[in-house]
Structure 1
Amino acid sequence: MRATTRNPTDGTEIAYEVSGSGDPLLLVHGSGLSKGTWRGLGYLRDLERDFTVIAVDLRGHGRSGKPHDAASYQPEAFIADVFAVLDATGLGPVHFVGYSIGARIGLRIAAANPERLRTLTTIGGSFEAMTDKIALTFFPTWREALDTGGMDAFVEAWGAHRGQAIDASTALAFRQNDPVALRAYFDGIEAAEPLGLDGAAAITVPTLLLAGTDDPDRFRQSREAAKRMATASFFELIGQDHSSSLLPVDEVCDLIRTYVELQGAA
């Protein structure tokens, strides 16, 4: 089932889809991607065998509304979007699975609204400030690429910076974005106040933190957070960097499924 709802505060339309059966599990994608990324990679096919899977398009992405002002991309707006989807579906509390910015949103919800979550899985997540992180994650001249050449220029410059072409599914997701909205989104999340280690340490929701061994900042932060949190486990994804942290799909899905089952048995 594909549907939309609206953020009750600013009216931004949020697209989502629901499939499968079982306990509810919410998938929240990373920057520049969409709910279609989970289907393209095979996450939906795997997870919907055991869960009722809700996949959401973050504001500024996919089929959701795309505001052109940075102020629209603050943590409280993303959280309200997620709650609007959960309220519209009547599903919850959920097992939350978030990648990159999706993980950041999940950590904030776990800290402030733990009653909304059964478990939290973060993939390539962080609690630190995003200041200057877009340039490190993508490439230094990302603003110029978006402003002058749009999404095609962004994807091409990103691939050149990495020394290899961006994989087809990721490139397709990025090319479908609105460059003005994506610029506003990046500016907005870079300016947001971070949750911080103390905020992450206060989380009591059972949490699985996953990070690639070649993603040094998120690896360090995820391991550090797991040590400080009351109920958390850290697992390293051998040989993966930030861009490849969702791979291999079967391994990550098995980790999610096993962790959820363990928490249910506890």
Structure 2
Amino acid sequence: MADIGTDMVEGWGDARLAVHRTGQGRPVLMLHGLFSSAEVNWIKFGHAARIADAGFEAIMPDLRAHGASDAPHDPDAYPEDVLVRDVETLVEALGLTDYDLVGFSLGARTAVRSVLAGLKPRKLVLGGMGLEGLAGWARRSAFFVDAIDRFDEIRRGDPAYFARSFMKTMNVDRIAARQLLQSVDDTPPDALDAVTMPTLVVCGAEDRDNGSPTALADALPHGSYTEVPGTHMSSVTERKFGEAIAQFLSG
């Protein structure tokens, strides 16, 4: 695989975002999941390499409050849909006009909302996402906010134990993350009529954390569904996950 290059690019409100790039060809903007990073979701398990080998340039930002990007504590740094604002700012700053857009979990939510805000990628990929998950952020967000608030009290056997462990492994800035969680907005099913580009929903066979992926594919004007092995957390480590994305983008 080609080397990974990393630059700091200004997102919305002057927050600096780490942007990792590899490959040459049509740009593919790839948005990782909650508490994760470009390294964990896209690079570590070879997905970026598969995208690059298929003739694309993988462009992988660390989202605000994640990875090597800024994690401001000022509440004003987290207006409604701030991640969408960051994506819009990155698309403009990087001069992307003919590109594809890929997201996993929180990245998938952000990708959909970015399209609804006016971005027009050629193709769209939504990983680890179901129809109910796009409109059910309040419940999921409350679970993670609770895990942050009880971080030092959570013990093995608690439903939030895995979330706590992942946050600890990823060295998540919990003050920034808590504010980010409260900035994410819902997408009702009827809004999906405006997502008119070809869209792949790719999800683990055991992943229903965000609802039904087949219902999401059916609700999209030009949606299709591919199943890969795994749960919500393990599916994105599977080789078939990256292969499904590369095949769809190449078609």
- TM-score tier, shorter chain, comes to 0.7 to 0.9
Q: Report the counterpart of residue 86 of structure 2 in structure 1.
A: 81
**Counterpart in 2 of 1:179?**
174
- Contact between 2:47 and 2:241, CA under 8 Å: does it hold in 1? no
Q: Which residue of 1 aligns with 2:148?
A: 142
CA–CA distance in structure 2, aligned partners of residues 53 and 218 of structure 1: 25
RMSD of equivalent CA atoms: 2.8
Shift of 1:173: 5.5
Structure 2 Cα separation of the partners of residues 165 and 124 of structure 1:
17
Quote the Cα distance in structure 1 between the aligned partners of 2:150 and 2:76.
Answer: 20
Q: Which has the higher helix share?
A: 1
**Residue 124 in structure 1 maps to residue 128 in structure 2:** yes
Cα distance in structure 2, aligned partners of 1:186 and 1:139: 7
Tell me: CA distance 1:35–1:172, structure 2 relative to 1, closer, same or farther (3 Å). Answer: farther
Tell me whether 117-126 or 75-84 shows the greater mean CA deviation.
Answer: 75-84
Question: What secondary structure, in the 3-state scheme, does the structure 2 residue paired with 1:107 have?
Answer: helix
Which digits, 9 at most, give the CA deviation of each residue in 1:137-178, with x for residues without a partner? Answer: x69543220xxx4xxx87xx5x65469978x9x667522x21
SS at match of 1:4: strand
Pick the aligned partner of 1:6 from 7, 10, 14.
10
User: Any runs of at least 4 consecutive aligned residues in structure 1 with deviations exceeding 3 A, and if so which?
Assistant: 69-76, 138-142, 159-166, 170-173
**3-state SS of 1:188 partner:** coil
Unaligned residue ranges in structure 2 (runs of 5+): none
Name the counterpart of 1:95.
100
Match of 1:202 among 194, 199, 218: 194
Aligned ranges for residues 145-224 of structure 1 at < 5 Å?
145=151, 149=152, 157=155, 160-161=157-158, 174-175=170-171, 177-189=172-184, 192=185, 194-220=186-212, 222-224=213-215
TM-score, length basis structure 1: 0.79
- The answer (yes or no) to whether the contact 1:33–1:173 under 8 Å persists in 2 is no
Cα distance in 2 for residues equivalent to 1:33 and 1:97: 15
Task: Look up the match of 2:249.
Answer: 260
State TM-score, norm by structure 2: 0.83
Structure 1 pair 26–172 and aligned structure 2 pair: CA distance change class (3 A) = farther
Rate the CA distance shift 1:200–1:35 in 2: closer, same or farther, 3 A: same
Matched, 1:28 2:23: no
Mapped partners of 2:179, 2:81: distance in 1: 16
For residue 247 of structure 1, what is the aligned residue in structure 2?
237
The 1:181/1:226 distance shift into structure 2, 3 A limit, reads same
Aligned letter for 1:24? P
Change (3 A) 1:121 1:14: same
Partner of 1:232: 223
